[in-house]
Structure 1
Amino acid sequence: MAYSSTFYLVLILSLTCNLFVYGCYTSIISFGDSLADTGNMKLLSIKSTGVAPRFAFPPYGETYFHKPTGRCSNGRLIIDFIAESLGMPLIPPFEAVSTTFDVTGLGQGVNYAVAGATALDPSFHEARGVYVKTNASLGVQLGWFKQSLSSICHSHLDIKRLLRHSLILLGEIGGNDYNHALESGKSIDEVETYVPFVVKAIISALNELIDLGAKTLVIPGNLPIGCSATYLTIFYGSNEVQYDNATGCITQLNNFAKYHNELLKTELNNIREIHPEVNIVYADYYNAAMQAFLSPQNYGFTNGALKACCGGEGPFNYNSSIACSDPLATSCAEPDAYFNWDGLHLTEAAYRFVFKSLFEGPYTTPQFRSLCPTSRFLFVGGLSSSI
């Protein structure tokens, strides 16, 4: 008997509407872009055009899954390490629940993140002459989620019960609002004017989730984009930018990321005052990652943090015309020794490092482990942590 994707999604999430609470969270619900997408864009692309995106081909996925999964890395992402650390299965992408995953035991969350997604709707960017390929903005993802809720939960009480015991990952999101514009030739100064709008969109989604009943939400800041092999290549040889002597990263772009993060943190503090009963966790992706950019050798990234493992040659092994998975691209033999995977995204080793700094270390505010003292942090990728 054939079942629709709606049937499977209802089955998966309805388990959580009435699931007995074991530990701190019964499910993980994720929104975001390629830093969190576990397969949505791959399936959406195939469904809409019949053509899979470049990250649906080797060597993507080679390290852990031994095949491409739709993740923009050689292996697991931060969301995968979070799920493993909490003793949960990997969280399935929204688009895959009807075909890719066995529903047995998967009443523990759904991932709505889509590679290329923006915080702002495409109309914002189109009005500024920037074309956005992915019509899966944060508002669209939130709409998918609310539609799911209306299908599976019979009352507002059921919805609140589900969300009260769920860990909500709201991002990373917003990076593509800046990436699309900068890659289209917009100046850093012009794109900086987008930041208040992007942060407003994130805060709007946060407020909607709180109104629905969410009690624990993790909101990441931006990574140090000035250290990205993509931007280091785009601005290579330009007299328009300055570099940080300690890292080799582009100072203006990192200051841009810090501006976004500071504005986001200010708004999160305001929400905390209004909703003291809600756990609003800021995840400091910037400073967690910056440890590796300052001292890559100290953290096992013996091939440095700036050069991409997989790409099209050049000083940072990145070429916009020869993307990772292109037949002309080169891929390193030891991706765990690299921080950067394909120019814009990170290796599994880098994501593991950032995860541990955030969820087992000091780079979340408040510290994540203080919210769930009964959680048992398991062995993750060969690295163990105490309870």
Structure 2
Amino acid sequence: MADSSTFYLILTLLLACNAYANGCYTSIISFGDSLADTGNLKLLSENSVGHVPHFMFPPYGDTFFHKPTGRCSNGRLIIDFVAESLGLRLIPPSQGNFTFNETGLRQGVNYAVAGATALDSSFHEARGISTNRNISLGVQLGWFKESLPLICSTVSDCKHLIGRSLVLVGEIGGNDYNHALESGKSIAEVETYVPFVINTIISTVNELIELGAKTLVIPGNLPIGCSATYLTIFYGSDKVQYDNSTGCITQLNKFAEYHNELLKIALNQIREVYPEVNIIYADYFNAAMQVFLSPNAYGFTNGALNACCGGGGPFNYNTSVACADPLSTTCAEPDKYFNWDGLHLTEAAYMFIFKSLFEGSYTTPQFKSVCPTSRLQQVEGLSSSM
């Protein structure tokens, strides 16, 4: 008969296997843009000469971290709430000064960069659009692949580690459209970019599956017609129509839904090829739309359209006076606002979307069926170190 120490070792291993079998993960691997960046652009900017991003100054980070961290919000992002709910530390940016073989995939690595596009910069430059630097999804995937020899010694080991990770692919693609629309391209022209963006996302998902990914969450686009940025850009224009129930720009929201529909179709095709892989679509659009339709019902009593931090104007967004500029103002109660700085959301908004997705019904299949809610920790009471 086995001694007690052997028994407890076997029991521990069985419990660990059972936790994974029930869909909970040992680490998070993340790709994306400013909705998921936990500090990569901040670190890249610190190592280069040029303009310092405004989100590297207060009041960014004030609510939770009490200092700027490189997150484009007043506090935590969706990825932070996901990590906390899984009992993991907050996921470090890949450009940080840490040793992969010490932390590695035991907690995860975040490759997302604020301002990132799905498509490489050459696509946009060919259309007369500047993206400042090439931090595309392909570049991020390249960083990940380059780091693998530092994390795992064999292909088999890498597949095992990646297979036990929750892989977040996005949100990505929004900036492909933002850069173009802000450069003056028409909605109709930018709509032609969508198939290229979707193909790039799908190509990345397929490559991650080949590398060993077993559970991937792929978000759709937010209702960009409700963004204070676009509401300001098109303010007073007779070229757009507004949804009377939300005040959002109808054409832009239909554009976001077009992107999301193509993405869902493509994800269904991947499910047919890889039935053993959990391909989870995260419906950012309708999760957020709950608030745009009824902000007061969800505690956003200062509305969903006006930015908390900004340089004035009808939606407190000013292209010349960004949040953190000395001339900007910040609201007293950010948790009562959905929009943070015109383009990004508040910590309260990200927590709401997280709950709708990972604890609610706004993922397909529902994430709580893959990782049961009973296994998720309550995020409100958690505090995690950087």
8 Å CA contact retained: 1:61, 1:68: yes
Distance between the aligned counterparts of 2:352 and 2:150, measured in 1? 38
8 Å CA contact retained: 1:60, 1:75: yes
Label 1:188 to 1:50 Cα distance change in 2 as closer, same or farther (>3 A): closer
Distance between the aligned counterparts of 1:51 and 1:305, measured in 2? 30
Amino acid at match of 1:351: Y
Q: 1:150, CA displacement in angstroms?
A: 2.6
| Structure 1: gaps (5+ residues) | 1-19
Amino acid at match of 2:263: L
Q: How many residues align?
A: 362
Q: What pairs up with 1:109-258 in 2 under 5 angstroms?
A: 109-258=108-257
What secondary structure sits across from 2:118 in the alignment? coil
What secondary structure sits across from 1:29 in the alignment? strand
Q: 1:159, CA displacement in angstroms?
A: 1.1
Amino acid at match of 1:324: C
Label 1:325 to 1:126 Cα distance change in 2 as closer, same or farther (>3 A): same
Deviates more, 1:90-99 or 1:133-142: 90-99
1:12-54 deviation per Cα after TM superposition (whole angstroms, max 9, x unaligned): xxxxxxxx76542111000000000000000101101265311
- Give the TM-score normalised by structure 1: 0.91
Amino acid at match of 1:155: T
Q: 1:156, CA displacement in angstroms?
A: 1.1
8 Å CA contact retained: 1:311, 1:322: yes
Report the counterpart of residue 281 of structure 1 in structure 2.
280
Distance between the aligned counterparts of 2:203 and 2:51, measured in 1? 34
Q: 2:26 matched to 1:26? A: yes
Report the counterpart of residue 366 of structure 1 in structure 2.
365
| Structure 2: gaps (5+ residues) | 1-15
Label 1:267 to 1:105 Cα distance change in 2 as closer, same or farther (>3 A): closer
8 Å CA contact retained: 2:310, 2:318: yes
Q: 1:116, CA displacement in angstroms?
A: 0.1
8 Å CA contact retained: 2:64, 2:76: yes
Report the counterpart of residue 57 of structure 1 in structure 2.
57
What secondary structure sits across from 1:197 in the alignment? helix
1:70-108 deviation per Cα after TM superposition (whole angstroms, max 9, x unaligned): 000000000000000011110000011439x9x679831
Q: 1:151, CA displacement in angstroms?
A: 2.9
Deviates more, 1:176-185 or 1:104-113: 104-113
Distance between the aligned counterparts of 1:145 and 1:179, measured in 2? 25
Amino acid at match of 2:161: L
Q: 2:69 matched to 1:72? A: no
Amino acid at match of 2:135: A
Q: 1:154, CA displacement in angstroms?
A: 1.6
Amino acid at match of 2:145: K
Report the counterpart of residue 335 of structure 1 in structure 2.
334
Report the counterpart of residue 3 of structure 1 in structure 2.
none
Q: 1:376, CA displacement in angstroms?
A: 2.2
Distance between the aligned counterparts of 2:25 and 2:106, measured in 1? 12
8 Å CA contact retained: 1:89, 1:106: no
Report the counterpart of residue 46 of structure 2 in structure 1.
46
Report the counterpart of residue 83 of structure 1 in structure 2.
83
What secondary structure sits across from 2:216 in the alignment? strand
What secondary structure sits across from 2:82 in the alignment? helix
1:221-243 deviation per Cα after TM superposition (whole angstroms, max 9, x unaligned): 00000000000000000000000
Amino acid at match of 2:114: A
> Which protein shows a greater Rg?
2
Amino acid at match of 1:38: T
Distance between the aligned counterparts of 2:141 and 2:381, measured in 1? 35
